[in-house]
Copies of this chain bind each other. A is one copy, B any other.
Amino acid sequence: MMQALPGPYLLFLGDISEPSYAKTAFGLRDWAPERCVGELRCDGAGVTTGLAPMAPADAYAAGARSLVIGVANAGGHIPVSWMPSLLQAMEAGLDIVSGMHTRLADVAPLRDAAQRLGRRLIDVRQPPSGIPVGSGRRRSGKRLLTVGTDCALGKKYTALALARAFAARGIDADFRATGQTGILIAGGGVPMDAVVSDFAAGAAEMLSPDAAAGHWDVIEGQGSLFHPAYAGVSLALLHGSQPDVVVVCHQPGRERVLGHPDFALPTIEDTIALALQLGRRTNPAIRCGGVSLNTSHLDPTAALRLLDDERERLGCAVADPMRGGAAFERLVEDCLA
């Protein structure tokens, strides 16, 4: 399905005001820029990708063939306020691509317009059929899983950057996508959070099958083992991935769980400890390869100082993959060690 996605894309940002909900749009901008011609926002929306704003007709004229819903909200529903923009896009000739829980074809106005205009409604979050129950069987090849202190703080970017860095060193490596944005970037994967619970660990096993001894699967983490809504997904992914290496991802300064202000964020140390404790169940040799910090809110000097301080404090490699440099080189080396 993914190979047939109609591109390039017009990125739709809806009317959100919280950048953390625009992971899909930012991910496509950063990791598949050649597939993005511009962005479309509802009136008054506060979040932008920095790409050129475009009306659907102009985007179509510039080559776009689909509008990608580049934002998510808790629960994954499509609000009524987005409908005029989506209908306008179909009128202009664009298909609609979505990674939300709600199936596009279940929204009557979209279904009707698609039928009338001959447009496609493509749900990236539809899991593949035939997912087995997890077996726990040890598989050949090597696996790395990114594990977070929370949602939306760098697990996908870290996995993408590590997979690229592994490949740059001549190592056979695949990025394995577990969420809608990753799937749009990678052209395949399993949308973990849409899998029925009983099959979630089996889906993770399916995503990183037996491979050559020297091959690495670099698997995009989901949620957090401490998250009051999503910890079950994270644990199923950890067990099914049976990673040899975890890299713990965190955003310095974030103190509360995103969208759940009553919940304090776990510390990096507690997150490492719990991932290793629980991950040992399916891979007794699991270890922590290091820590990835999202320092996008800091200036370069402050970021470098923080990475140094945290490496000292935690006693392991600490890097911001988006800044690269010696710290990231050390993280890559420690993961492969």
Contacts and interface: CB of A to CB of B under 8 A. Distances in A.
A196 B196 contact: yes
Given A235-B235, A236-B231, A198 B136 contact: no
Interface string A34-76: 0000000000000000000000000000000000000000111
A262 B198 CA distance: 20
Contacts of A135: 228-229, 260
A314 B206 CA distance: 40
A135 to B, nearest CB: 7
Contacts of A196: 101, 193-197
Contacts of A74: 133
Contacts of A235: 231-232, 235
A263 B136 contact: yes
Contacts of A233: 197-198, 200, 232, 236
Contacts of A197: 192-197, 200, 232-233, 236
A134 interface: yes
A323 B156 CA distance: 52
A198 B282 contact: no
A201 interface: yes
A228 B281 CA distance: 7
Contact of A232 (B76, B136, B200, B228): B200
A31 interface: no
Contacts of A76: 198
B134 A228 contact: yes
Contact of A281 (B194, B231, B282): B231
A236 B74 CA distance: 17
B232 A201 contact: yes
Contacts of A195: 196-197
A109 interface: no
Contacts of A209: none
A21 interface: no
A263 B280 CA distance: 12
A132 interface: yes
Interface in A274-294: 278, 281-282
Contacts of A142: none
17 contacts: A76-B198, A134-B228, A134-B230, A135-B260, A136-B260, A136-B263, A137-B262, A194-B196, A196-B197, A197-B200, A198-B230, A200-B233, A201-B228, A228-B282, A232-B232, A232-B237, A233-B236
Interface of A: 74-76, 101, 132-137, 192-198, 200-202, 226, 228-237, 239, 260, 262-263, 278, 281-282
List the 9 closest A-B pairs by CB distance, nearest first. A136-B228, A232-B236, A134-B229, A193-B198, A232-B232, A197-B233, A232-B235, A197-B200, A235-B235
Given A133-B229, A197-B236, A198-B230, 13 more contacts: A134-B228, A135-B228, A136-B260, A193-B196, A194-B197, A197-B197, A197-B233, A198-B233, A200-B232, A226-B281, A228-B281, A231-B239, A263-B281
